[in-house]
Structure 1
Amino acid sequence: MSRLGAAALRRGVAAYTVPSASRLAAFVLASPRLFSADASGEAAAAAAADSQDDSFLKASREGLAYGRFYSVIAGGNRLGKDMLKTDIIHYLDRCELSLDDVKVDYNRGYYPVGALLRFPSKASFTTAIRQTNQGRLYRLEEISRDQWDLNQSFDGKALLLQGVPRNALPEDIERFLCGTNFEPPPFESFLRPGVPEPIRMVLVKFGTKTDAMNAFITKNRGFCLNNPVSVRVLQ
């Protein structure tokens, strides 16, 4: 082969195997994500993680179950006025309930008509159904979360005074409560049917459970304007 032919052959091979500078530049501009780890990729990963966390929390919330617990004795739809949250928790001892998972349901006269319960899982609720069916003293019905959320919980921070004289003024009630850390008036007051005349009830709130319990211990069966007053803790 002549020198001229060999040189031409070498130039052809070089042109075929090495991309031109313009083609290489175009490739780099068209594919920036292959050569840089910009923040957009990290943001997308973080968003995906947040979405997974939200899904997990949603699934956890949906796993809760709510029920209404009440007695079936004497017509049902009530609880014993002396029944405590701990009594319910011990009765349903296989359901992993805590004090925060129990709300006592009161009627307008603050008589306990049931308890609203929050279960950590559907399986726990099913276990409670089996326990109540075996005992046959109580009944448990499923309720919505809205019913649970709307129910007020006194959480042991309120006392119900029963037998307050009908002519007692707020100042008289304050004197009766003297020495306790009660929240100042106005007090909620109402009449409950009684014999031979209606009985006056007064609701008093406290800042803590300890304050309410101390008032219960020191004031139960005390006297307001020479009338004996019984005291009950609202849960």
Structure 2
Amino acid sequence: MSRLAAAALRRGVTASRDPTSSLLVVSPQVSARLFSADASGEAAATVAESQDDSFLKASREGLAYGRFYSVIGGGNRLEKNMLKTDIIHHLDRCGLSLDDVKIDYNNRYDPLAALLRFSSKAMFTTANRQTSQNRVYRIDEISREVWDLKKPFDGKTVLLQGVPRNALPEDIERFLCGTNFEPPFESFIRAGVPEPIRMVLVKFRTKTDAMNAFITKNRGFCLNNQVSMRVLQ
């Protein structure tokens, strides 16, 4: 073996035994793999953390409830002909649906206010800002218990006003003949001018049935008395 070959062989053996030399060769690949793994781990952790924050934020905010009414003429009322859709359009930035609106009636079934359910406190604040701009309506915050206790009619109940006081259930059934009503009826007397008025609540299977009954029977006669009808929301 020549001297040059022997010298080269000795340098190769020395380099292979040198831990520093081995680290220099391996280190870039290992560090690259480690950096890649760390980066992906950090990214995954960041995404998970942001999702957790969003979930916790939504949980903290929760639902909010409000009472919507007019401030004109002493307040604490709604127009008789105001629909749920009118309120939803008025508060068009709040993401309300028909299920998020309940109408609050007095004992004569005149609408006093609308109870509203908002998806968050932020949406309640938005609704407050919208109503304060026109100064016609107002929203007060209420508890969930007030919302839960209010019975919704959902457009499936019709109020009959002016039914003769001596009318029997059979007479009311004849008046409603041709409609898909659901007996029994709920009947009661309320103060009126010049004399007390008999009112009857009639339930229907669907909103369409209730509306059809209103269209076909409103201002009809029951035992020679004209009966007015109103769909309760």
TM-score (norm 1): 0.73
Q: 1:144 to 1:184 in 2, by over 3 A?
A: same
Note closer, same or farther for the CA distance 1:177–1:125 as it changes in structure 2 (3 Å cut): same
Distance 1:86 1:73 in 2: 20
The equivalent of 2:103 in structure 1 is 104
Report percent identity of matched pairs. Answer: 83
1:6-35 Cα deviation digits (max 9, x unpaired) = xxxxxxxxxxxxxxxxxxxxxxxxxxxxxx
1:188, distance to aligned residue in structure 2 (A): 1.2
**What are the Cα deviations for residues 63-88 of structure 1, in whole angstroms up to 9, with x where unaligned?**
21100001111111111111100110
Offset at residue 62 of structure 1 (A)? 4.8
**Letter of the 2:226 counterpart:** P
Alpha carbons of structure 1 residues 62 and 152: separation in structure 2 relative to 1, 3 Å: farther
- Closer, same or farther in 2 for the Cα pair 1:61/1:216, shift >3 Å? farther
Q: Is 1:201 paired with 2:199?
A: yes
Give the drift of 1:59: 4.6
Deviation at 1:58, TM superposition (A): 10
Is the partner of 2:213 in helix, strand or coil? helix
User: 1:192: Cα distance to partner?
Assistant: 2.0
Residues 69 and 78, structure 2, Cα contact 8 Å, conserved in 1:
yes
Quick check: 2:61–2:121 contact (8 Å CA) kept in 1?
Answer: no
1:207 Cα deviation after fit: 1.3
How many angstroms apart in 1 are the aligned matches of 2:207 and 2:56? 31
CA gap of 1:178–1:126, structure 2 versus 1, over 3 A, is same
Pick closer, same or farther for the CA change 1:72–1:181 going to 2, 3 Å. Answer: same
Query: Judging changes above 3 Å, is the alpha-carbon distance between structure 1 residues 58 and 168 closer, same or farther for their aligned structure 2 residues?
Result: farther
Q: 2 CA distance for matches of 1:115 and 1:190?
A: 24
Consecutive unaligned residues in structure 2, runs of 5 or more:
1-50
TM-superposed CA distance for 1:166, in Å, is: 0.9
Give the corresponding residue for 2:148: 149
Give, in whole Å, the separation in 2 of the partners of 1:73 and 1:62: 32
Secondary structure of 1:104 counterpart: strand
Q: Equivalents in 2 of 1:78, 1:122: separation in Å?
A: 24
The alignment's TM-score, normalised by the length of structure 2, stands at 0.74
Deviation at 1:107, TM superposition (A): 1.5
Alignment of 1:132-211 (within 5 A): 132-185=131-184, 187-211=185-209
Match of 1:216 in 2: 214
Amino acid across the alignment from 2:87: I
| Equivalences for residues 1-235 of structure 1 within 5 A | 56=55, 59-60=58-59, 62-185=61-184, 187-235=185-233
How many residues align? The count is: 182
Over residues 164-190 of structure 1, what are the superposed CA-to-partner deviations in whole Å (9 max), with x where a residue is unaligned?
Answer: 0111111100100001110111x1111
Flag the 1:223–1:135 CA change in 2: closer, same or farther, 3 A: same
Distance 2:136 2:192 in 1: 29
User: Match for residue 11 of structure 2?
Assistant: none
Q: SS at the partner of 2:146?
A: helix
The offset of 1:119, in angstroms, is: 0.8
- Counterpart contact for 2:67–2:142, Cα < 8 Å: yes
Give 1:57 shift. Answer: 9.0
